[in-house]
Amino acid sequence: MKIAFFSTKSYDRESFLNHREGFNHEFSFFEVGLDHKTVALAEGHDVICSFVNDPVDEFILKKLAQFGIKLIALRCAGFNQVNLEAAAKHGIRVVRVPAYSPEAVAEHAFAILLTLIRKTHKAFNRVRENNFSLEGLTGLNIHGKTIGVIGTGAIGKAFCRIAKGFGAKILAHDLYPSEEMVALGVTYLPLQKVIEQSQIISLHCPLTPETRHLINSKTLSYMQKGVVLINTSRGALIDTKATIKALKTKKIGFLGIDVYEQEEHIFFKNLSEEILEDEQISRLMTFPNVLITGHQAFLTHEALAQIATTTLENITAFEKGEILQNEVKKV
């Protein structure tokens, strides 16, 4: 099948080309994201492969249907960017990669956490300038702290296992508690109780209408003063305006995010020669206790290999008329 890949970077192209053996597909790689103008590039293809920040709305789906495209293969786990109702109306099926190296994201969450509370990024910059002073670099232990994990799917479970190794007490909230995590020593509580009792909170739940702005002025008010908040899941889980206020009042002691609710206009682009027009992320970057990475938690060789393989398997299953194990539909 002819596949049109949108929002591709060098690592995407390399990974898919390295794993194409055994799959009878043709690739067209486009660096541009999928939008109302670039959707025309999909003409002449059988499938499009889009990424997490490519909005697939009614207009785009109508165009794809006109081109005869019957499948959208998401090379990501999230699918909130796709209008599934419109996809069904236009006879277009949607598949995704539900899990790819959950350890990659969990480990990045801990990398952000450790960097923040031990201030290694600041120490690195100091030493490069021959400044070996330790003033202002006093950090925090993870050992003995209470960590709240919101969402214990594959990534949340991987995060809990790492946290256990650090000697932390782990509280969790999930609609479907995991017996495996309970056996590990994780205690499941209602969301408010987890937020109230945790000194460190890490978000690992999907973005749904119910979880949008899960972290807001109300839930922030329940948190302990100086809480450490980490988000490597979806940007819109956090109300940015409320979070900025909490940083200013020192309710949040440290904030580490790999995702941002308006990231589709910023992330995956080199904007170093431009003026950043997004005032909220610009404000976040002024805080010395905030660390932002550009949606790179998934970016390991192992995860990229799984993404490529699963995506190509999804497309092959569709081509052969087999059951689509990773299909997503409007509930």
Note if 295 is an active site residue.
Answer: yes
Other beta carbons within 10 Å of 225: 10
- In whole angstroms, give the CA distance from residue 164 to residue 110: 12
Q: Is there a catalytic annotation at residue 13?
A: no
CA distances from 86 to 5, 61, 91, 229, 326 (A): 21, 7, 9, 36, 19
Catalytically annotated residue among 96, 108, 173, 295: 295
CA 168 to CA 199: how far, in whole Å? 10
> Strand pairing partners for 239?
none
Q: Which two tokens stand for residue 37?
A: 């103008």
Using CB atoms within 10 Å of the CB of residue 317, give its burial: 0 to 12 exposed, 13 to 18 middle, 19+ buried. Answer: middle
- For 280, the enclosing helix (H) or strand (E) is helix 279-284
Which one of the listed residues 19, 261, 263, 313 is annotated catalytic? 263
Backbone angles phi, psi at 255, to 5 degrees: -130, 125
Nearest to 116 by CA among 232, 255, 5: 255
Catalytic residue, candidates 234, 261, 264, 313: 234
Q: Which of 33, 9, 25 is nearest to 71 (CA)?
A: 25
Maximum alpha-carbon separation in the chain? 65
Residues 6+ apart with CB under 8 A from 242: 213, 215, 216, 217, 220
Q: Is 234 a catalytic residue?
A: yes
| Angle (CA) 14 16 21, round 5° | 115
Q: Give the residue numbers annotated as catalytic, written as ranges.
A: 234, 263, 295
